[in-house]
Structure 1
Amino acid sequence: MPTHKIFTMPFSTVYPLYIAKAERKGRTKEEVDEIINWLTGYEGNRLQSVLENETDFETFFAEAPKLNPSRNLIKGVVCGVRVEDIEEPLMQEIRYMDKLIDELAKGKKMEKILR
């Protein structure tokens, strides 16, 4: 089974897009970082290291310090697909992150985003 191109894409390629999306809607880089920390456990120097080393998405999630056990409460549609119905585990993790960033950009309060 061929892997999805995004699995080998560096997280550092998408990270600025997450920030830009949030900032266009009046949100901040710090809020994006808070979401990443909540979902994966990456923060501060450890997140910076992932960005500098151009860690791919597959490694980013495989080596995440602590995947949040509440992430399975994330529901909804991203790119026309319900995140709770995605069967490929890595793709589901990526779409969880996308969904949280979407919610941030739509103006949801952080308390609601971070279930």
Structure 2
Amino acid sequence: MIDLSQTASCSTKDLRAVRDALEVLNGKWKLQILIAILSGTKRFKEIAREIEGISDRMLSKELKELETHHLVVRKVYDSFPPVVEYSATAHTSSLDKVIYALKEWGYLHREKIIHASDV
């Protein structure tokens, strides 16, 4: 558990690190894509089917950005038609605690909002 009372004393370096992390994971889709790929190597259309509402163009853009940040590996097979698969890198596993914490906070927040509307 993080002691939030210490966040007030965050240094500029700490804030820069948080900003860097948010820049890599920003937006609606990146974490959803990573979670889809963490369960195993997938083809483009498999990822698209798992993530409701994402366009092919947006998925392609986000996958390229994740690849740039070494969180996704793209493998093209020399076949006809070409087969392209995406998988998580070893570096992606460094996000396990972040994803878990966000999931837990999401459940907590959802409960709070639901109970707040009962009042």
TM-score scaled to structure 2, two decimals?
0.26
TM-score scaled to structure 1, two decimals?
0.27
The structure with higher relative contact order (CA 8 Å, sep 6+) is 1
